[in-house]
Structure 1
Amino acid sequence: MLFRRRKKPSWPDRLREFFWPRKGLTRPARYLAKRILRLSASPHAVAAGVAAGAFSAFTPLLGFHVILALALAYLMAGNLLAAALATTIANPLTIPLIALATFRLGEAMLGIQSAEAISASELFHRLEHLELSELWQPVLKPMLVGAGILGTSAAILAYCATRFAVRSFKARRHARLASAAHIPVLSRGDHTL
């Protein structure tokens, strides 16, 4: 085998690798960021796709984040791949935090006072075991209201940051390629031929 290790890792090594990879926990996030920056679409399209993915990641529609992100990106003329990649904001580490934040904000916006403090595990237990008719008023309605507010603010922030990052990345890349080819770089105001 081409990429096999010479020495097989022991089970403690495999367990440690599972919880703390050798390359670090931030490597997948850095890879996704670079993958998004290198998309060949316009800065608006990439930013709109990322905004759609960020918004859908805050919704309580678990399992439908990618479908919702693709639909929103299509409506906003965004990049579909950027939208699908941005839905990874909602991952097993962040979903409990997002769900609890949207639920609490939705309760506050609707003026609902819950008798007991609900933890993330209790919230997911309710989502798993209650029927939709029992689930709508006490859980889903507050989560959708909270997701609308948090998702919109996350989408606006993601759009602005991504558009700026893509524009600066493409400008640096264009300047680097132009200097390698010894072609003068025209600024925005230059219209000389």
Structure 2
Amino acid sequence: MLFRRRKKAAWADRLREFFWPRKGLTRPARYLAKRILRLSASPHAVAAGVAAGTFSAFTPLLGFHVILALALAYLMAGNLLAAALATTIANPLTIPLIALATFRLGEAMLGIQSAEAVTAAELFHRLEHLQLSELWQPVLKPMLAGAGILGLFAAFLAYGATRFAVRSFKARRHARLLERAGIAAATPALSRGDTSL
């Protein structure tokens, strides 16, 4: 195998790497951010795609986040790849927090009072075991209402931050290319002995 270790990792090392990878826990997020920054679309298109993906990540439509993000990005003339990548905001670590936050906000907006305090585990238990007709009023309606507000707020922030980051990244890259081109243009003239520079 091409990338196999020379010395097989011990069981304890594999267990440690499962919980704390050698490259760190933030490496996937840094990779995604760099992947989004390097897209060849305009800053608006990339930012609109990220905003669409961010908004869809806040909806309770688990399994349909990418489809919703692509549809929204298409309507906003956003970059489809940026939209799909941005849906990773909803991941196993963040989905319980997002779901509970949207549910609580939706309850407050609609004036619904729960008889008991609902935890994220209880919320997912309901989503898993109740039918759609039983889920709509007590769970999905508040989550969709809360997702509308939180999702729009997060999408607005994501749009602004992404547009600024992409513009800055492209300006730095352009400046580096100009600097290299200036050095490359000056080098042949110096090799010919041209001192007029």
Query: Is the pair's TM-score, using the shorter chain for normalization, greater than 0.5?
Result: yes
Q: Residues 115-130 of structure 1: matches in 2 within 5 Å?
A: 115-130=115-130
Distance 2:121 2:13 in 1: 30
In the other structure, the counterpart of 1:156 is 156
What's the CA shift for 1:111? 0.6
In the other structure, the counterpart of 2:134 is 134
In the other structure, the counterpart of 2:105 is 105
Distance 2:140 2:57 in 1: 15
SS at match of 2:177: helix
In the other structure, the counterpart of 2:186 is none
Distance 1:11 1:129 in 2: 38
Amino acid at match of 1:137: Q
> Bigger CA drift: 147-156 or 3-12?
3-12
Distance 1:2 1:145 in 2: 50
Distance 2:95 2:178 in 1: 44
What's the CA shift for 1:83? 0.2
Distance 1:12 1:71 in 2: 45
Amino acid at match of 1:105: L
In the other structure, the counterpart of 2:44 is 44
Q: Aligned residues, how many? A: 183
Q: TM-score, normalised by structure 2?
A: 0.92
Distance 1:70 1:105 in 2: 26
In the other structure, the counterpart of 1:65 is 65
Distance 1:162 1:49 in 2: 10
Query: Which segments of 5 or more consecutive residues in structure 1 lack a partner in the other structure?
Result: 184-193
Distance 2:47 2:58 in 1: 17
Query: Which segments of 5 or more consecutive residues in structure 2 lack a partner in the other structure?
Result: 184-197
Distance 2:57 2:176 in 1: 35
Q: TM-score, normalised by structure 1?
A: 0.93
In the other structure, the counterpart of 2:194 is none
Structure 1 segments (4+ residues) deviating >4 Å: none
Taking every aligned residue pair, what percent have the same amino acid on both sides?
A: 91
In the other structure, the counterpart of 2:190 is none
